[in-house]
Amino acid sequence: MRVSINQVKAMKQSGEKITMLTAYDYATARIVDEVGIPLILVGDSLGMVVLGYESTIPVTVDEMLHHTKAVVRGTKRAMIVADMPFMTYHISTGDALSNAAAFIQEGGAQAVKLEGGVTVAEKVKRIVECGIPVMGHIGLTPQSIHQFGGFKAQGKTPEAAARLLEDARALEAAGAFAIVLETVPAPLAALITRKISIPTIGIGAGINCDGQVQVINDILGSFGDFVPKHAKQYVKLIDIMTNAITEYDDEVKTGKFPAEAQSISMDKGLLAELTD
């Protein structure tokens, strides 16, 4: 039985911290699910960490569905939340409903995530009314980086802080079951968390959110050139992988691999007539 939105909401009420991680493929999703992480986000961050785009903006619905299906196949318990890509819910409510439905019906996700607050609240309301759980996302919303002028912290002025609180309240009123707060000052994130009844999931938003989400590539250290301020590397996978691949390359070149353990044996006598 998968984690439900009611269980997620209950975690806030009981004070139990909520853990969320991204996953983009079957094998990784299996590990994350078996550890017991209750929420897995198939984030449009896959555009940058899997597909090599410079931002999340080029990611398409088809790409997101492809990875969502793989993650769903690799999991049994976690709630799978799928990101809705850039401009798939902005143009019309009809588009928003159709695209959200695809992630549930075709992709197999249990919820979708939308970026924005007041500006998307009506669409969130309609999606929820149609039976699709929605997770909100405010603060630094990566699909709006051109408008922000880059990956910059949000809500640092009184006016900006007030707008984020208004966004959070609008999403709560629209029926969102949780809200991601990204790159928001910790005191503001704590205030929003106290002011709304639904869980807040922080990323670069301090310790007082109801839960935390991270891009799995960041915490595993699979990239060597950049570590976001909000991320902690629990292992440096790039070094482990580089060493293993280098050792494999050396053993192939020197004739150490494959050894007898990796080879299939047979009675050489059976080959006698072929070698005569």
Please provide the distance, in angstroms rounded to a whole number, between the alpha carbons at the two ends of the chain.
Answer: 63
For residues 203 and 185, what is the distance between their CA atoms, to the nearest angstrom? 11
Residue 34 among the catalytic residues: no
Answer yes or no: are the C-beta atoms of 238 and 224 closer than 8 Å.
yes
Answer yes or no: are the C-beta atoms of 56 and 48 closer than 8 Å.
yes
Q: At 63, phi and psi to the nearest 5? A: -65, -45
Sign of CA dihedral 80, 43, 207, 218: positive
Which CA distances in Å does 160 have to 31, 184, 203? 39, 10, 18
For residues 183 and 155, what is the distance between their CA atoms, to the nearest angstrom? 9
Catalytic residue among 129, 159, 182, 251: 182
Q: At 109, phi and psi to the nearest 5? A: -70, 160
Task: Please list the active-site residues.
Answer: 182
